[in-house]
Amino acid sequence: MRYGDITSRLANLGGDKWAVHLEALKMKANGADVVIASIGEPEIPPSPILMQGCHDALNAGRAGYSNGQGEPGLLLALAERYTERRQTTITSANVMTVPGTQTALYLTMMGLLNPGDEVLVGDPYYVSYEGVVAAPGGRFVPVPMSPDNGFRLQAADIECHITPRSRAILLTTPHNPTGAVLRAEDLRAIGDLAKKYDLWIISDEVYEELVFDGTFASPLDFPDLAKRSITVSSISKSHAAPGFRSGWIIAPEEFVSRVLPLSETLLFGNQPFIADATEDALRAPNTTAQAMRTSYRRRAQMLVDGLADQDNVTVALPDAGMFVMLDIRATGQSGERFAQTLLTREGISVLPGEVFGHQGAGFVRISLTITDEDMARVVRGLTTVLSAANTEVSA
Ligand SMILES: Cc1ncc(COP(=O)(O)O)c(C=O)c1O
């Protein structure tokens, strides 16, 4: 039978990148004692306010169809939150709620791109970005980022890759996998570039609540960038609730009215009980994020301290997020080989940096969403594999 081209474009961009993780899950299902540090899934229960809110909303019968843009209460809560936190006035007309940042990114790309249009993305990049750009036939243009400046995307590096087909710059701040947080001056320079070449700025801010050090900044901190800025986020990370699939898009009014029919066609509305619970959680102090910031920072420090004596690895404390990138290039191994060895010999699953792009080669990404006890085991396992790599090199 015949299929649409989109199925071919996405054929290798779905689950393939998670091969090591999926193998680890299989080993675990077969009874092996495996530490899964290959996915950013909060290890703590969802925010209690969210759970209570869901319960209350379901008891109140809030399980019917919703409208396409979102429940008015949640739209308003988001508008107020962004107006309070950014230097731009956001109203409900600037907001669309969707099932997660992933859907937000998909709808955004479908709404902005024609086949052949280019999206500039810092490399390394989050695994699903290639797919959301490829879906409408867009061209994914990786812009190398360097550990030398903490993997912060630089305007000058973007500019070298701009062509007449460039349509958008996709930012991730805080960043997955590197944990980098863009500074106001980085964003100002990127914003000037976007104005110069008339580009959209799409800002994936799903890790906003998980900044350990420094200050979070966003394109919406610059009022002159508001008309070209699209912010996507969710409660998946901030409230330890990825399974709720509760996210949103903050964008110019015209974008919302143009993309709404797309969302309505795909989703036929949101889920009112999840919208109510999300509204409750967004309006209350977020102790869940506070707890995660403390434990993720502590576990990142465990890695940095625990590997300090190894001379074939470089590990820097991330500024934010759920991950640490280990630079294992000095072992002479690829991230893929290293991750496979770590899984087979030590029962520890991490993702090879290669799945995050060319600039991820020779790195592995370790998730901080495991217990302290498991992190201690990860440090021991890494020490064993790194020491063995040293012996192999000198043999
Ligand atoms: C950078 C980034 N964007 C988007 C997502 C997807 O988030 P959501 O659960 O809100 O769809 C993730 C999930 O890990 C992520 O790391």
Tens of pLDDT, residue by residue over 15-36, are 677 889 999 999 999 999 999 9
Pocket test for ligand 1, best of 38, 102, 125 (most atoms within 8 A of CB): 102
- pLDDT tens string 131-179: 999 999 999 999 999 988 899 999 999 999 999 999 999 999 999 999 9
**Predicted pLDDT at 193:** 98
**DSSP state, residue 331:** G
Indicate if the pLDDT at residue 356 is higher than 80. Answer: yes
**Predicted pLDDT at 133:** 98
Domain with CATH 3.90.1150.10 in the chain: 5-45+287-394
Q: Count Cβ neighbours within 10 Å for each residue of 167-176 and write b for 16 or more, e otherwise.
A: bbbbbbbbbb
Beta-carbon count within 10 A of 94 CB: 23
Distant-in-sequence, close-in-space partners of 40: CB < 8 Å, separation ≥ 6: 176, 237, 321, 322, 323, 367, 369
Indicate if the pLDDT at residue 395 is higher than 90. Answer: no
Is any atom of ligand 1 closer than 6 Å to the C-beta of 40? yes
**Residue 101 Cα, ligand 1 centroid: separation in angstroms?**
6
Indicate if the pLDDT at residue 350 is higher than 90. Answer: yes
Cis peptide before 174 (omega within 30 of 0): yes
C-alpha 6/C-alpha 29 separation (Å) is 33
Domain with CATH 3.40.640.10 in the chain: 48-283
Indicate if the pLDDT at residue 83 is higher than 90. Answer: yes
Average pLDDT over residues 207-213: 94
User: What's the whole-model pTM score?
Assistant: 0.96
**Predicted pLDDT at 394:** 54
Average pLDDT over residues 28-55: 95
Q: Smallest Cα–Cα separation from 393: which of 348, 314, 344, 329?
A: 329
Cis peptide before 124 (omega within 30 of 0): yes
**Predicted pLDDT at 1:** 96
Q: How confident is the model at residue 324 (pLDDT cuts 50, 70, 90)?
A: very high
Share of the chain above pLDDT 90, in %: 93
Is any atom of ligand 1 closer than 6 Å to the C-beta of 234? yes
**Residue 395 Cα, ligand 1 centroid: separation in angstroms?**
42
Pocket test for ligand 1, best of 18, 98, 126 (most atoms within 8 A of CB): 126
Q: Look at the block and give the residue holding tokens 């409208």.
A: 67
**Predicted pLDDT at 213:** 79
Q: Say if residues 385 and 345 touch (Cβ distance below 8 Å).
A: yes
Is any atom of ligand 1 closer than 6 Å to the C-beta of 367? no
Q: Is the Cα dihedral 280, 282, 283, 285 positive or negative?
A: positive
**Residue 30 Cα, ligand 1 centroid: separation in angstroms?**
28
Q: Count Cβ neighbours within 10 Å for each residue of 278-316 and write b for 16 or more, e otherwise.
A: bbbbbeeebebbeebbebbbebbebbeebbeebebbebb
C-alpha 49/C-alpha 58 separation (Å) is 14
Q: What is the CA radius of gyration of the chain?
A: 21
C-alpha 8/C-alpha 6 separation (Å) is 5
Atom of ligand 1 nearest to the CA of 246: 10
Distant-in-sequence, close-in-space partners of 254: CB < 8 Å, separation ≥ 6: none
Is any atom of ligand 1 closer than 6 Å to the C-beta of 101? yes
In what helix (H) or strand (E) does residue 122 lie, and over which residues does it extend? strand 118-123
**Residue 388 Cα, ligand 1 centroid: separation in angstroms?**
35
C-alpha 263/C-alpha 237 separation (Å) is 23
- DSSP track, 232-265: EEESTTTTT-GGG--EEEE--HHHHHHHHHHHHH
Is any atom of ligand 1 closer than 6 Å to the C-beta of 218? no
CA-proximal residue: ligand 1, atom 14 (nearest): 40
Q: Which residues pair with 200 in a beta bridge?
A: 168
Atom of ligand 1 nearest to the CA of 233: 10
- pLDDT tens string 273-297: 999 999 999 999 999 999 999 999 9
Is domain 5-45+287-394 classified as CATH 3.40.50.1860?
A: no
Q: Say if residues 207 and 239 touch (Cβ distance below 8 Å).
A: no
**Residue 235 Cα, ligand 1 centroid: separation in angstroms?**
10
**Predicted pLDDT at 40:** 87
**Residue 102 Cα, ligand 1 centroid: separation in angstroms?**
6
**Predicted pLDDT at 148:** 87
Q: How confident is the model at residue 206 (pLDDT cuts 50, 70, 90)?
A: very high
Q: Which top CATH class is 48-283?
A: alpha beta
Indicate if the pLDDT at residue 14 is higher than 80. Answer: no
**Residue 75 Cα, ligand 1 centroid: separation in angstroms?**
20
**Residue 130 Cα, ligand 1 centroid: separation in angstroms?**
13
